Structure 1
Amino acid sequence: MTAGDDPLERLPPLRDVIAAHGLAARKSLGQNFLLDLNLTRRIARAGGPLRGVHVLEVGPGPGGLTRALLLEGADHVTAIERDARAIPALREIAEAAPGRLTIVEGDALEVDYAGLARGRPSRIVANLPYNIATVLLTGWLGGDAWPPWWASLTLMFQKEVAERIVAPPGAPAYGRLAVLAGWRTRADLLFDVPARAFTPPPKVTSSVVRLEPRPDAVSVPARALERVTAAAFGQRRKMLRSSLRPLWPDAGAVLHDIGIDPEMRAERLDVDGFLALARLLAAGPPAAGP
């Protein structure tokens, strides 16, 4: 079958799909649609070779990225969409790719993603709704089981959020999100997507980030790491001996004992330092704190 013979290639332009189904983007749903199929195929390719792979997509809207994932050879795509208006448009794609697209109508924050994967080699590739993007990411990174059920995450965020995910220690954007991502994954900012590529155009540039799990990630209770980073970055202008006092009354001595400079600020402490603090917190008696 040549490209021109592929039923997916013969689907109407996305602008026509949006008009036909009354799919004007809704701010309340964090929607900004990508209509450039060359760009959506670039995002799909950023997810790595897709043949034989099951892909989970969150917030497909009219299905631009969904089409691209299928055209780039994904074995199967499971698309999770909350907006009932988009379901008929997605069904048209399913008809053009028989047996390769499953549509799940529901809230992305309540989905059992591992259950949808059903043990298949799975990747998540998505232009995430901006209003839930960080919550979804922290959920995928913070699970108890590691390595996770997913093989990689290729996700679009607001550029500011993307920079927070990949920031190294000492960078202005380094914070809780960078520590969480750095603990369990290798995270890379791949490329930017200008606002004009979207309908409607957001007020910010977007960026695509790829995260791959570290199979040898240090075992630390996620809740303990969350408490340590919340305390440290909640008062990031203070020295650690002060910002961590809600967790350890004599935080200065605790830091000194494990080889961390008590006068350091959170933005200078690397991921290994935060993991050491999280292990200590998890091993000790309960402490009051965030």
Structure 2
Amino acid sequence: METNTSSELPPGFRFHPTDEELIVHYLCNQATSKPCPASIIPEVDIYKFDPWELPDKSEFGENEWYFFSPRERKYPNGVRPNRATLSGYWKATGTDKAINSGSKQIGVKKSLVFYKGRPPKGIKTNWIMHEYRLIGSQKQTSKHIGSMRLDDWVLCRIYKKKQMGKTLQQKEEYSTLQFNDSTITNNDGEQEMMNMNLPRTCSLTYLLDMNHFGPILSDGSTFDFQIHNSNTGIDPFLKPQPVEINNYYEADSQSTITNQSIFVKQMHNYLG
């Protein structure tokens, strides 16, 4: 039974009942053929449809949908419900939750997850169902001998769980940011790691080998530099070793050799 309820609801209406309200004001009234406070829950046999088909069966709801549904037995003489649908089945998860009104238990809430395929090789989906049933409802239907009806009515709340956590794109952006923070650009435009640690004892020859002070200018110009023992790890009491310049720099002209000699002499005097 499907009814048009959109014209009966006031503007801005939101349906967010508690578990107790769903049983006391809706499921109890439905089971006793009394009118509900609002006619917004349709009667649908949900097990004849897959969960993604159910939103079209209700004219109310955007992120969750409510239905009154009967339950059938899986076996003629058993009490297990038949939860199979066209493309899969609903599987119970966790333990049943008792719903109380004051100090009296009035119903039970069961959580279920929809699986595609057939057990035990079904594929879990994000479709969730909360099934509410009254206490003692199965005793009333069991009076009909040979009937496959297990419950005349249960109330089902169905929704699709959203995915949580970081996306792959966010993880890639985070990794790229970490890499950029740990690199520097040298004069040739190449990337070098900033966490290169110099040894505690290193000679001027080693520093020139590593090109730590940059290239020596060959045009006769000078440049300023500062050496911090805490950053470079240079021992000021270590006697510098002779430098073989020709192994690392080509003397294209006499002025280049002269500038290099002046630079080495200044370094010797500085490191003393």
* Structure 1 and Structure 2 fold alike (TM over 0.5): no
**TM-score, structure 1 length as denominator?**
0.18
Q: Which structure's CA Rg is the greater one?
A: 2
**TM-score, structure 2 length as denominator?**
0.19
Bigger share in strand: 2
